[in-house]
Amino acid sequence: MKVQVKKDAFKIPNLFGYFRIILAVVFAIIYLNADSPTDYYLAAGIIALSGFTDFIDGQIARRFHMITDFGKILDPVADKITQGTIAFCLTTKFPWMIALVILFLIKESYLGIAGLKILKKIDSNEGAKWYGKISTVTLYVITFVLILFPEMPDLPANILIFICMAVMLNAFILYIRLYRRLLT
């Protein structure tokens, strides 16, 4: 098992996962030190590159049969690190993002703990559901817009943040229902 993890750790899709984690750090540095529109555009470009590499790693893994158990863990971890980093950084410009970050942390903590319990009970990973994917896409689209327009007025920014929170809360509730059913 240990040898297999070492071998799987360096498969191309997993290298993209590491790259996305590095991109999250680079994004944070650029965004938190931005002082011109060009800096914000660069930060948005980094997120776009991260999203593109996320798409590509999945395509490569499926097409070339490089799906690994290690990758099934690394990919969502890289996603959550990226999403959390973006949301946290945006709290510096948009105060209501703090509420979104709190909801994100509660949701992801619950899903992580419940997911481990389910894995232990049924020895299977349910994977992301459609409502989780919609929540993720909504988060990326809205945060991308907020990155591109850091001087957006409060009202439209807050409306976008509340939409994102509503979609995230809906996904959270649906996952709670699913996980309770699987755990009983």
| Active-site residue identified among 69, 75, 79, 123 | 79
For the entire predicted model, the pTM comes to 0.91
Which of 51, 75, 178, 88 lies closest to 126 in space, CA to CA? 178
Q: What is the pLDDT of residue 5?
A: 67
Q: What is the pLDDT of residue 184?
A: 86
Do 117 and 184 meet the contact criterion of CB atoms below 8 Å apart? no
> What does the block give as tokens for 134?
């919609």
> What does the block give as tokens for 98?
């703090």
Q: What is the pLDDT of residue 126?
A: 65
The CATH number of the structural domain formed by 1-90 is 1.20.120.1760
Which of 116, 117, 168 lies closest to 142 in space, CA to CA? 168
> What does the block give as tokens for 136?
């993720």
Quick check: is 35 catalytic?
Answer: no
Q: What is the pLDDT of residue 4?
A: 67
* CA–CA dist 129, 147 (Å, integer): 27
Helix, strand and coil content of the chain, in percent to the nearest 5, comes to 85, 0, 15
* CA–CA dist 156, 76 (Å, integer): 30
Residue ranges for the chain with pLDDT beneath 50: 1
Please state the three-class secondary structure of 57-94 as a single string.
Answer: HHHHHHHCCCCCHHHHHHHHHHHHHHHHHHHHHHCCCC
Domain ranges, ordered by start, for the chain = 1-90, 94-184
